[in-house]
């Protein structure tokens, strides 16, 4: 069974700035991948897949300093997020029962989380400190203990405050 645990982060000015830059870069990555998919379909009716965009991102990291600062696994999670939005769109089109809702470009107020799909890969919790790659060590208010095994971590901004959400694997309740 999976369970989420959400904790408040207390950042200093530098960490706040770095997290803001990281979030903005992920948003721009999402929007540029969406733009590529739309342009490819409009130009010659082909659909770009996640694997093609991941290969593009790997090459783009060499020339774009902002993309080079992103953790690769979290960038892949952002591209998978778009891939999932496309899959859900086509599922709704095929079902015909719901309004499909094509994936949208995300504005600054519509993109508020960064996922780290594997715990200890760019992010880890030690006591009441959270280490985030290229951001540093951030204080965490652990108001309750984390139960089970942490599988994923998501950094989330809500009302100009930062939180971390751990998705944990717990034993099944019988």
85-95 pLDDT per residue, tens: 999 999 999 99
Buried b (16+ CB within 10 A) or exposed e, 99-125: eeeebeebeeeebebbbbbebeebbbb
State mean pLDDT over 26-37.
98
pLDDT tens digits for range 42-84: 999 899 999 999 999 999 999 999 999 999 999 999 999 999 9
Given a cut of 80, whether residue 97 has pLDDT beyond it is no
For residue 104, what are the CA distances in angstroms to 29, 47, 49, 121?
13, 16, 17, 29
State mean pLDDT over 16-41.
97
* Cβ neighbours of residue 168 closer than 8 Å, sequence gap 6 or more: 2, 3, 4, 5, 146, 147, 148, 149, 150, 151
pTM: 0.94
* Cβ neighbours of residue 126 closer than 8 Å, sequence gap 6 or more: none
- Predicted pLDDT at 155: 98
pLDDT tens digits for range 117-172: 999 999 999 999 999 999 999 999 999 999 999 999 999 999 999 999 999 999 98
- Mean pLDDT of the chain, nearest integer: 95
Give the residue ranges of DSSP H helices in the chain.
13-44, 50-63, 65-69, 72-95
Rounded CA-CA distance 123/165 in Å is: 12
- Predicted pLDDT at 173: 79
Given a cut of 80, whether residue 100 has pLDDT beyond it is yes
Rounded CA-CA distance 172/169 in Å is: 9
- Predicted pLDDT at 121: 94
């Amino acid at each position: 069974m999976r369970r989420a645990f959400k904790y408040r982060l207390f950042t200093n000015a530098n960490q706040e700035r770095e997290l803001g830059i990281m979030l903005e870069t992920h948003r721009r990555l999402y929007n540029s991948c969406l733009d590529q998919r739309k342009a490819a379909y409009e130009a010659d009716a082909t659909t770009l897949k996640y694997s093609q965009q991941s290969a593009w991102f790997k090459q783009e990291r060499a020339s774009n300093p902002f993309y080079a600062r992103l953790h690769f696994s979290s960038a892949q999670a952002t591209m998978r997020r778009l891939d999932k939005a496309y899959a859900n769109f086509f599922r709704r089109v095929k079902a015909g029962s719901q309004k499909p809702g094509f994936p949208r470009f995300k504005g600054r107020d519509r993109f508020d989380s960064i996922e780290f799909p594997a715990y200890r890969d760019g992010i880890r919790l030690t006591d009441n400190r959270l280490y985030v790659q290229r951001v540093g060590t951030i204080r965490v208010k652990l108001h309750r203990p984390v139960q089970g095994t942490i599988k994923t971590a998501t950094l989330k901004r809500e009302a100009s405050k930062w939180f971390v959400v751990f998705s944990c694997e717990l034993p099944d309740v019988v």
